[in-house]
Amino acid sequence: MALGQDQESVPFLEQAAQYGRQIDYSRPASGQIYGFIRDAIVSMQLEPGQLISETALAKKFGVSRTPVREALIKLSNLGFTEVRPQRGTYVSRFSLEQILEARFIREALEVSVVSYLADNPERKVITEAESIIAEQKSAADKDDTLLFQALDDKFHQLLASYTSYQRVAGMIEEEKAHMDRVRNLSLHKSGQYKRVLAQHRAIIRALKSGDVSKAASAMSIHLREVFKVLDTLPAEHPEYFQ
């Protein structure tokens, strides 16, 4: 059941409490808290329109409000949260414009990534990618959406890492998250796991062949899958969209 605007997620706060005991206090807490909240937003544990309490999170993490506030500011700058004066910080609702822009940026970057890899073949990236796809298949068989999505991140990050361009992987990760929030709503639908896996395999087959054109086409098809999701989700979940 969807949470109301001003409700907080009890399961999420319980997980935050557990995570808080695992914070490495020798490292800045704000970065660790940012990662945890971001993952909760992308995985839909924190839903669009949901209130995020600085005070409650600080208490559960066992830290002052300062690192929580810093994490929320970073999330706001990336479009994941919004601050409403006199009301608090809320998880941002889906913006069609932001999702489509993220897809456009990702396609520009990731088509370039696979084109580079097809033109500069390296067996190791193929082997590692195939291993990730096998793990994804296992996660799909168990209907483990969170694991499937984590492995999807790993797949795309792996490809980007083999370009040797250090900033590319980070840029893809930021843009990918906006699309993943939407796609996580649809992974349980019939055939979605199968389509993603088939598309990943098509990308790897193209890389194996060394065909730049086929690699670029396979990645474009994969990234345009979000259009199918956006055809139905706004009507099914109007409360999640701006």
Rg (CA), the chain: 19
CATH number at residue 138: 1.20.120.530
In a domain, residue 176? The reply is yes
pLDDT value of position 22: 67
Question: What is residue 71's predicted lDDT score, i.e. its pLDDT?
Answer: 94
Compute the distance between CA of residue 115 and CA of residue 219 in angstroms, rounded to an integer. 9
pLDDT score, position 191 = 86
**36 and 107 assigned to the same domain:** no
* Predicted local confidence at residue 12, as pLDDT: 60
Whether residues 146 and 71 fall in one domain: no
Q: What CATH number is associated with residue 86?
A: 1.10.10.10
pLDDT at residue number 86: 80
Which residue is it, tokens 């993220």? 102
Q: What is the mean pLDDT of each run of 10 residues along the chain (242 residues)?
A: 44 55 79 89 89 88 92 92 88 94 96 97 96 97 90 96 93 91 82 94 97 98 92 91 92
Entry field: residues in the chain: 242
Q: In this predicted structure, what is the pLDDT of residue 6?
A: 44
Q: Please indicate, yes or no, whether residues 77 and 147 belong to a single structural domain of this protein.
A: no
Same-domain pairing of 72 and 178: no
Contacts of 172 (CB under 8 A, 6+ apart): 106, 109, 110, 113, 156, 157, 160
| Predicted pLDDT of residue 1 | 35
Query: Other C-beta atoms within 10 Å of 13: how many?
Result: 15
Q: What is the pLDDT of residue 115?
A: 98
- Per-residue pLDDT at 155: 98
Specify if 4 maps to a domain.
no
Q: Are 82 and 102 members of one domain?
A: no
Domain contains 135: yes
pTM: 0.85
Residues 113 and 180 grouped into a single domain: yes
Asked if residue 3 belongs to a domain, the reply is no
Helical axes 192-209 vs 123-141, angle rounded to 10°: 170
On the CB side of 224, CA atoms within 13 Å amount to 8
Q: Residue 122 belongs to what domain range? A: 96-240
- pLDDT reported for residue 4: 42
- Of 91, 107, 129, which marks where a domain is finished? 91
65, 91, 117 — which closes off a domain?
91
CA-CA distance, 167 to 178, in Å (whole number)? 18
Same domain, 223 and 135: yes
Are the C-beta atoms of residues 93 and 48 closer than 8 Å to each other? yes
- In this prediction, residue 184 carries a pLDDT of 84
